[in-house]
């Protein structure tokens, strides 16, 4: 039992209206009087069974309604040249003019299809002559019928037709006709995009003239994809298999179902791409494996439609494995719900049968008993003017049986028309046209629009990704025999108050990326590019099949899938980085320690905390202010009573090398005297209601609030401009920003968020871009900080709670409102590893836990863990006791100070790791399989990890621990970073050793990989800014051959000159203990010569695993002083050499 932790933002502003003070009194009295067990209120959040589209399609319930065929005669090849750049404009029609009868007749005109292929294979001249004018689109043109698309032009397009007699709208004149495009990227990535077969610009359709909508579905290519960096694989280098080649191939392959030579007319296969396009960022990171002979083979099955990918060895002239590395729709779970008009006869029948209705909602509207509502708690329950609050009444909505829902029989008559067995198929119609959850009704004006399908990894038993969930890094089965969870993984950004652990329910952000790791199929990934609400089931394949099936179900959007062929983790993250962007270099200060609390009361409180850090020689970089620093929760303002001199406060900290962070959330207080609200209203920048007329009014910390439409570029520009110094009064260049509540959180909205039928400024429903709101808010804020100095060259730092694919481009992410418990400490590592699987490197968890009160041991262990995670911030709820590092007594302060010093000493290494992420896309915090993909026994491990490639960390996450079990890969030796002694691993033939190591309260087990070079700075400073000119000490761990290599990356640590002007350098260190230690410097000569002669020195070299002392070490004619300890095998050199210039030490 513990006191209720109510997330109410207190205020000391004397100008607060009396009503708000009444509400505050109610909050405080309830907080003091209620004692309950805290856990997430699950009734606020929907399950799959409470979600129409998920319930309708899960467990193959709708499979009979969808039976897709690709029409070979509709295939159009598009010529792509070597120099082809991403498309931005298009004018020419695709030419999809076949009749419905021609499309569904799969056996017709096969000769014509192969004639097209022959012409393509033989093409050496004008593609319009060789392929036919109607079959080729000119360069520089996109599909005019899909204007939201961004990227390269497709290799081919075709039509898909749903031939199922059970189709929802069977008998309707509105045919279920889809447009398929396949795009082949230079690096082997394949993109498959399926849309409705859109109408022409004049409103007529290529198929019929009575389609209900002639506007394409909204997609977010321009907002999310790094499309300007896409590069197509040239058509002239694509190899389309002829009939004989395809026949020979099909006899070797293992497909479901198995195929024979007679099936050759039902397939098309192409070979393309190069899997050698992996960064050689430095000699350290050059891949040892050689992928130069690997390309990709993509096989398309016409009926039933499916797509399969293999890797193809050019040397062996064969696929690497019989089974594909990944398949789409091999289990025929694909669905694409075509938009319909509400007056269609079948639709009308379904609507009449729905159990949810406007009248039902109206009948419940007096549940408040006539009481006046003055506010809402974060759980969505009302606060009344008489001092009481709405009581939670739980109504079970769990529907474990799909038969409980409304049905519409569409099977018998349809089957009779098609001369098939008359077996009834019933569609679950509940929620198709309007959907109720709690007191909220979703009007769903466009009806059912769900898309989905199965993606199978036939040779894999280990899948990772799909953040954010408080669960293991490895995805576990959610359905089928042996399922671990009952609910699918849900992807829908939500503010989940005190989230539960080991659950698949949504949290604050999402990235629809899955990475498979297997000893057979190596590394392969899929990126499901759809930002609408999505559920994903994971299932172990049964019967004779091996591998894992995922079933993706999205509420709306289009079916846009990227297949990433790997074959290594490094290759895959290069591929994914090209799709969504790479992590920029963070400002160095942001890698230090951040001290936060809700809230530091006033300037005196800030100075007291700052001065205590100084007094204790405890390093820190940033002090944070939560929402109470504002004037009545109006962002970009200051409480003048508590923070009367914000510029002087920031300057005092800045003079000592420290920064500040203030919180800026997306909800804007609806106050006509508040300049932000007044201007946003006048300019029409807010999200609108479901009719598109009025500004949306929701409830959050300030009370009645409106929300800016960050999908609009003009709104993002306006928001960015609010961070200019003349607008954000009291801000300076040492002030940075924290974005919270950006899921978006709306206390009185469904699931503590916005209604799905709200509209943006272009009339697009919120359901289409809900999961993008957080990243777009994050982006606009980051752009504001970059622009505020005028030259656009200062690095921003913005922390965000919500995220989507590509958030790595805009700043840091944290895991939200965790709890001060050992269980939450333990889950922080798997959660952060999952975020890193999704290429979000700059991540962390609140040290100490946001809710509750950690004891000294828990706080110390959390400090130890946080010091070895990318983002390192202590934070606490306002009801929690003060927990700055000195609040637990001198003994514990010393322990925490020691680990903080270890963090600061390692800042040069952290900077190296982020440079690799910046260039190659590799995550900063790596699961074991990312560095050791050949050791299958380590795939599931998520209680230890690597920082970069060279530091192995084993967090201690239980009380009273004195020993920990660490799994050491036997392919490398490992050295304890504290004692610098070699770990004695087992000598058996196993691939790893499980070793018990000391881990008492003074130690977190951390180990350096043999063959590596770790740079440190050992001077004790109050902040990272004070360390920039400090010398390096290189810690070199020799491998069995007595060799090592690594690097030190250097730039100005605060601007984008490293990117805009390439003003940076890298000192590459290579060691052969029997011969030399060399430093080779690469980089920008202008930057190198501009550095002070006293900076960037290497003061000392410490070498581990030196089996015998060298006789002498010389630099030219100069003898280098050294010490050797034959007991510890440690060699220490005092060198005082520059890292800005090359040098060569000879070991004699």
Catalytic residues: 740, 743, 817
Reference 76, options 156, 160, 178; nearest CA is 156
Rounded Cα distance, 127 and 118, in Å: 12
Rounded Cα–Cα distance for residues 938 and 992 (Å): 8
Do 101 and 69 contact (CB within 8 A), yes or no? no
Nearest to 161 by CA among 99, 111, 110, 219: 99
CA–CA dist 523, 519 (Å, integer): 9
Q: Which helix (H) or strand (E) holds 905?
A: helix 890-905
Distance CA(800)–CA(738), nearest Å, equals 6
Residues 6+ apart with CB under 8 A from 849: 818, 819, 820, 821, 824, 825, 858, 862
Please state, in angstroms and rounded to a whole number, the distance separating the CA atoms of residues 1032 and 918. Answer: 22
Residues forming a β-bridge with 180: 158, 194
Which 3 state secondary structure label does DSSP give 974?
strand
- Per-position DSSP letters for 87-126, written without gaps between them: B----S-------HHHHH-TTTTHHHHHHHHHHHHH--S-
**Is the distance from CB of 1040 to CB of 1050 less than 8 angstroms?**
no
Task: Judge whether 782 and 705 are in contact, CB under 8 Å.
Answer: no
H helix count then E strand count, the chain: 24, 56
Write the CA distances from 11 to 374, 630, 850, integer angstroms.
Answer: 17, 9, 20
DSSP β-ladder status, 872-874 and 593-595? parallel
Residue 65, token pair as written in the block = 């309604």
Provide the 8-state DSSP code for 765.
Answer: B
Query: Which are the contacts of 1094, defined by CB distance < 8 A and separation ≥ 6?
Result: 1029
Measure the CA–CA gap between 992 and 418, rounded to whole angstroms: 60
Q: How many Å apart are CA 1013 and CA 1048, to the nearest integer?
A: 9
How far apart CA 460 and CA 547 sit, in angstroms, is 5
Q: What is the distance in angstroms between the CA of the first residue and the CA of the last residue of the chain? A: 68
Query: CA 285, CA 281: separation in Å to the nearest integer?
Result: 6
What CA–CA distances, in Å, run from 183 to 80, 144, 172, 560?
10, 16, 32, 11
Give alpha helix (H) positions in 380-457: 412-417
Pairing of β 593-595 and β 622-625:
parallel
Helices within 192-233 (DSSP H only): 221-224
CB count within 10 Å of CB 706 equals 22
- Decide if 9 contacts 701 (C-beta within 8 A): yes
Nearest to 688 by CA among 739, 754, 745, 750: 754
Contact predicate 838/807, CB 8 Å: no
Are 551 and 541 within 8 A, CB to CB? no
Rounded distance between C-alpha atoms, residue 82 and residue 306, angstroms: 29
Tokens representing 267? 């397939």
- Measuring CA to CA, which residue among 1003, 1001, 1004, 982 is closest to residue 993? 982
C-alpha span between 448 and 522 (Å, rounded): 38
What are the structure tokens assigned to 337, written together? 């719900």
């Amino acid at each position: 039992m513990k006191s209720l932790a109510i997330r109410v933002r207190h205020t000391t502003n004397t100008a607060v209206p009396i009503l708000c003070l009444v509400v505050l009194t109610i909050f405080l009295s309830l907080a003091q009087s209620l004692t309950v067990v805290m856990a997430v209120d699950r009734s606020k959040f929907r399950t799959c069974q409470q979600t129409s589209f998920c319930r309708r399609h899960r467990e193959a319930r709708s499979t009979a309604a969808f039976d897709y065929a690709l029409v070979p005669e509709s295939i159009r090849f598009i010529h792509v040249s070597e120099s082809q750049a991403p498309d931005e404009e298009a004018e020419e029609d695709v030419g999809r003019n076949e009749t419905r009868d021609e499309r569904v007749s799969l056996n017709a005109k096969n000769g014509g299809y192969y004639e097209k292929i022959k012409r393509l294979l033989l093409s050496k001249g004008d593609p319009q002559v060789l392929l036919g004018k109607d079959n080729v689109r000119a360069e520089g043109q996109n599909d005019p019928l899909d204007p939201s698309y961004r990227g390269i032009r497709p290799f081919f397009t075709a039509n898909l037709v749903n031939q199922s007699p059970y189709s929802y709208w069977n008998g309707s004149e509105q045919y279920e006709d889809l447009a398929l495009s396949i795009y082949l990227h230079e690096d082997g990535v394949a993109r498959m995009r399926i849309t409705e077969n859109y109408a022409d610009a004049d409103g007529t359709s290529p198929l019929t003239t009575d389609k209900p909508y002639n506007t394409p579905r909204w997609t977010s290519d321009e907002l999310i994809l790094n499309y300007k960096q896409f590069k197509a694989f040239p058509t002239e280098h694509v190899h389309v298999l002829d009939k004989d080649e395809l026949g020979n191939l099909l006899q070797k392959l293992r497909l479901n179902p198995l195929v024979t030579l007679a099936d050759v007319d039902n397939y098309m296969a192409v070979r393309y791409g190069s899997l050698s396009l992996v960064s050689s960022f430095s000699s350290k990171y050059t891949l040892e494996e050689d992928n130069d002979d690997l390309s990709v083979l993509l096989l398309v099955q016409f009926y039933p439609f499916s797509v399969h990918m293999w890797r193809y060895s050019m040397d062996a002239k064969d696929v690497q494995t019989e089974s594909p590395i990944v398949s789409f729709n091999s289990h025929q779970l694909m669905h694409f719900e075509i938009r319909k008009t509400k007056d269609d006869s079948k639709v009308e029948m379904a609507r009449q049968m729905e159990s949810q209705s406007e009248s039902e909602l109206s009948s419940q509207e007096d549940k408040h008993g006539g009481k006046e509502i003055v506010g809402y708690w974060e759980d969505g329950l009302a606060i009344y003017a008489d001092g009481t609050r709405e009581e939670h009444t739980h109504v079970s909505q769990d529907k474990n049986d799909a038969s409980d829902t409304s049905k519409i029989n569409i099977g018998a008559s349809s089957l009779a028309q098609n001369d098939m067995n008359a077996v009834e198929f019933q569609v679950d119609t509940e929620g198709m046209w309007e959907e109720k959850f709690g007191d909220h009704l979703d009007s769903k004006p466009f009806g059912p629009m769900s898309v989905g399908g199965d993606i199978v990894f036939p040779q894999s038993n280990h899948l990772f990704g799909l953040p954010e969930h408080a669960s293991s890094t490895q995805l576990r089965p959610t359905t089928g025999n042996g399922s671990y969870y009952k609910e699918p993984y849900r992807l829908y950004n939500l503010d989940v108050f005190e989230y539960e652990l080991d659950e698949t329910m949504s949290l604050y952000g999402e990235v629809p990326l899955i990475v498979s790791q297997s000893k057979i199929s190596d590394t392969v990934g899929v990126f499901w590019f759809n930002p609408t609400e999505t559920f994903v089931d994971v299932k172990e394949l049964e019967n004779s099949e091996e591998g894992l099936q995922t079933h993706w179900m999205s509420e709306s959007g289009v079916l846009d899938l990227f297949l990433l062929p790997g074959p290594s983790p490094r290759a895959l993250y290069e591929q994914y980085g090209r799709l969504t962007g790479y992590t920029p270099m963070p400002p160095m200060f942001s890698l230090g320690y951040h001290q936060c609390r809700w809230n530091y009361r006033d300037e005196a409180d800030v100075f007291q905390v700052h001065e205590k850090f100084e007094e204790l020689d405890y390093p820190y970089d940033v002090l944070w202010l939560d929402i109470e620093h504002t004037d009545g929760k109006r962002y970009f303002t200051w409480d003048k009573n508590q923070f009367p001199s914000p510029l002087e406060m920031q300057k005092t900290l800045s003079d000592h090398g420290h920064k500040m962070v203030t919180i800026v959330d997306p909800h804007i207080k609806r106050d006509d005297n508040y300049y932000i609200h007044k201007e946003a209203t006048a300019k029409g920048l807010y999200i609108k209601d479901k009719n598109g007329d009025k500004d949306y009014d929701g409830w959050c910390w300030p009370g009645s609030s409106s929300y800016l439409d960050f999908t609009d570029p003009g709104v993002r520009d306006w928001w960015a401009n609010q961070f200019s110094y003349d607008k954000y009064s009291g801000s300076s260049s040492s002030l940075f920003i924290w974005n919270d509540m950006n899921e978006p959180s709306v206390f009185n909205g469904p699931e503590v968020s916005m209604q799905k039928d709200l509209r943006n400024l272009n009339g697009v429903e919120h359901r289409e871009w809900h999961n993008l709101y957080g990243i777009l808010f994050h982006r606009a804020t980051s752009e504001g900080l970059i622009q505020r100095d005028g030259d656009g060259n200062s690095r921003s730092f913005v922390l965000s709670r919500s995220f989507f694919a590509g958030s790595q481009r805009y700043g840091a992410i944290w895991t939200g409102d965790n709890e001060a418990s050992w269980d939450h400490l333990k889950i922080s590592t798997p959660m952060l590893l999952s975020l890193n699987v999704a290429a979000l490197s700059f991540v962390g968890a609140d040290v100490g836990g946001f809710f509750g009160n950690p004891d000294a041991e828990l706080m110390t262990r959390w400090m130890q863990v946080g010091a070895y995670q990318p983002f390192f911030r202590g934070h606490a709820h306002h009801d929690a006791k003060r927990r700055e590092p000195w609040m637990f007594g001198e003994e514990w302060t010393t322990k925490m100070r020691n680990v903080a010093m270890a963090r600061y000493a390692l800042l040069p290494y952290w900077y190296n790791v982020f440079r690799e992420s910046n260039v190659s896309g590799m995550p900063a915090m790596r699961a074991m399989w990312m560095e050791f993909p050949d050791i299958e026994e380590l795939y599931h491990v998520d209680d230890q990890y690597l920082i970069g490639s060279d530091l192995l960390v084993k967090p201690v996450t239980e009380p009273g621990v004195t020993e920990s079990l660490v799994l050491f890969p036997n392919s490398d030796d490992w050295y304890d970073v504290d004692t610098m002694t070699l770990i004695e691993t087992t000598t058996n033939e196993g691939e790893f050793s499980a070793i018990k190591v000391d881990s008492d309260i003074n130690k977190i087990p951390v180990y350096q990989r043999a063959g590596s070079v770790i740079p440190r700075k050992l001077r004790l400073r109050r902040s990272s800014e004070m360390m920039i000119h400090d010398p390096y000490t290189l810690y070199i761990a020799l491998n069995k051959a007595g060799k090592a290599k690594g690097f030190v990356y250097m730039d100005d640590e605060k601007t984008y000159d490293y990117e805009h002007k390439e003003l940076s350098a890298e000192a590459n260190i290579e060691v052969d203990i029997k011969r030399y230690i060399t430093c080779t410097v690469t980089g920008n000569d202008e930057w190198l010569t501009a550095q002070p002669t006293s900076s960037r020195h290497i003061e000392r070299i410490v070498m581990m695993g030196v089996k015998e002392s060298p006789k002498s070490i010389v630099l030219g004619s100069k003898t280098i002083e050294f010490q050797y300890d034959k007991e510890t095998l440690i060699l220490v050199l005092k060198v005082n050499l520059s890292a800005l210039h090359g040098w060569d030490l000879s070991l004699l």
